[in-house]
Amino acid sequence: MVNHWSLLAIVLSFTVNTVSVASATEDSKTQKSASHSAAKTESKSVDHEQKIAAAKKKLEEAKQAAETSQSNASSLQKVADSAASQLAAEVTKYESETKRIADAKKSQRDKATADAMRAEEAGKIARTKRLEEEAQLSESRKKADEARRAAVAKATADAKAAAEAKMLADGKQAEAAKKLADTAKADLEKRVAAAKEKSADAKRAASLAKRAAEAAKRAVDGATEDLARRMADPKRVTAQPAAAKKSEKPATPKP
């Protein structure tokens, strides 16, 4: 738009100057022609007054034309001035609008730059926070791994200690059980030996009792026979009372 109005202003100025030059040239030619005609008319004859009048008329017309041309030139100048003023107003308006647009664009650029800087700062903060969280998470995982390893080591140590204690306890229990078994075996052997000895004693006592019973039976049988014989022979009964009493005492068997 600036170039168009500038070109228009140049064209209008050129047109005004051209019209002014043409008007001046026309006036000069008209004046020269009128002067020449008047000179010729005066030099030749007075009859030429009509021609002089015509020349004067033409001069008047030329003057009027020049005035008209000047008026037109003035009008054109006014038009040019108005156009130039309008052009200046348009240029001013354009410059103002251009400045407003430039200011708006600059404001937008500044806002975009500020937004970008804020976004970048927020991104930095977010990245820093994420790195801190990752570091904390890594530290937490490290501590958790250390705690887990410590727990596993403690559990392993506890299990090993428990196994050793169990083995020791089992060994002690086995040793104690062996001692008890040995003691029980020795006691059983003693009891078996005592039972065997008692059994032998019982067998001997039974044999002695059997012998005593047999001896007692023989004594009873002897006494019964002796009593029968004495009952059959009264004299023998009277004559041998001591023998009868003696025969009533059973003989003690020898072992």
Q: Does residue 108 register a pLDDT over 80?
A: yes
More confident residue, 52 or 74: 74
What's the predicted TM-score (pTM) here? 0.30
Cα dihedral across residues 90, 94, 96, 100: positive or negative: positive
Q: What is the token pair recorded at 136?
A: 């904390």
pLDDT value, residue 15: 55
**Better-predicted residue by pLDDT, 20 or 114:** 114
pLDDT for residue 66 is more than 70? no
Whole-number pLDDT of residue 226: 82
Confidence grade of residue 1 (pLDDT, cut at 50, 70, 90)? very low
- Predicted confidence (pLDDT) at residue 245 exceeds the cutoff of 70: no
- Token duo for residue 49: 């007054």
- CA 232, CA 226: separation in Å to the nearest integer? 10
The pLDDT of residue 171 is above 80: no
pLDDT tens per residue across span 28-56 = 555 555 555 545 545 555 565 676 677 66
Mean pLDDT over the full length of the chain = 72
The single residue listed with the structure tokens 């009964």 is: 237
> What does the pLDDT look like over 149-165, one tens digit per residue?
888 888 888 888 888 77
DSSP track, 145-160: HHHHHHHHHHHHHHHH
Question: What confidence score (pLDDT) does residue 218 get?
Answer: 86
Please give the average per-residue pLDDT across 163-179, as a whole number: 75
Strand, coil or helix: what is 251?
Answer: coil
First-last CA distance in the chain: 167
- E-assigned strands of the chain? none
Instruction: Name the more confident of 214 and 239.
Output: 214
